[in-house]
Amino acid sequence: MSIRVIVADDQAPTREGLRLLLSSEPGVEVVATASDGFEVVALARRLRPDVVLTDIRMPRMDGLAAIRELLALDPVPAVVALTTFDLDEYLFGALQAGAVGFLLKESDPSLILDAVRVAHEGQGLVDPQVTPRLLQQFAATSPRPRTDELATLTPRESDVLRHLAAGNSNAEIAEALVVAPGTVKVHVERILAKLGLSTRLQAALYAHRHGLVTWADLP
């Protein structure tokens, strides 16, 4: 089955360019385009896309507010944020709102296609151009105290969370822990539920914030 995508951007040429790019990829179907946050939320509620690729700066309702609305839908689409501006407020705002990916509009087209595919697989992708700033931000942050929610994780769930924080995929985690990928998926779902998080990326950032891993642990 095709990955069903909605594209949201207030600039018609950008919308059309993204629609053509994604539609040219086998296995990807652009089911609608939107020009603002209100429109993309309404379309997502009606069409139930797998992935929403949305601009941050849009009229009426901006992308950050739209992401929060999109994540309240059932089923929940995976959201990839897209912007011309790599400002920290957009980067961290999008990730905290629940986006699984963050791209600049100047990103290589292949990166945009990759982001849609990995989002559909339940993983995230951050543009390499802004990844160093993301790492520096959290490397400079002192770990926060462990929370009560962390204490609810089983030892195996804690292991999975550490692997998430290292950026490992479900297949890589399964290989490292000698379990089935489906088992890892269940663990990830339970971790997100226990920690009150929406995405794997949020879980990874949470693990770094609370000292489960350090940036020195990253491959």
Give the C-alpha separation, 198 to 159, whole Å: 19
Query: Residue 145 — very low, low, confident or very high, per pLDDT cuts 50/70/90?
Result: low
The pLDDT > 90 percentage for the chain reads: 46
Q: What is the pLDDT of residue 206?
A: 81
Indicate if the pLDDT at residue 8 is higher than 80.
Answer: yes
- CA max distance for the chain: 50
- CATH code for the part of the protein at 142-217: 3.40.50.2300
* Top-confidence residue, 219 or 122: 122
pLDDT reported for residue 205: 77
CATH homologous superfamily, domain 3-128: Response regulator (3.40.50.2300)
Which residues of the chain form CATH 3.40.50.2300? 3-128, 142-217
| Residues 6+ positions from 153 with CB-CB distance below 8 Å | 161, 191, 194, 195
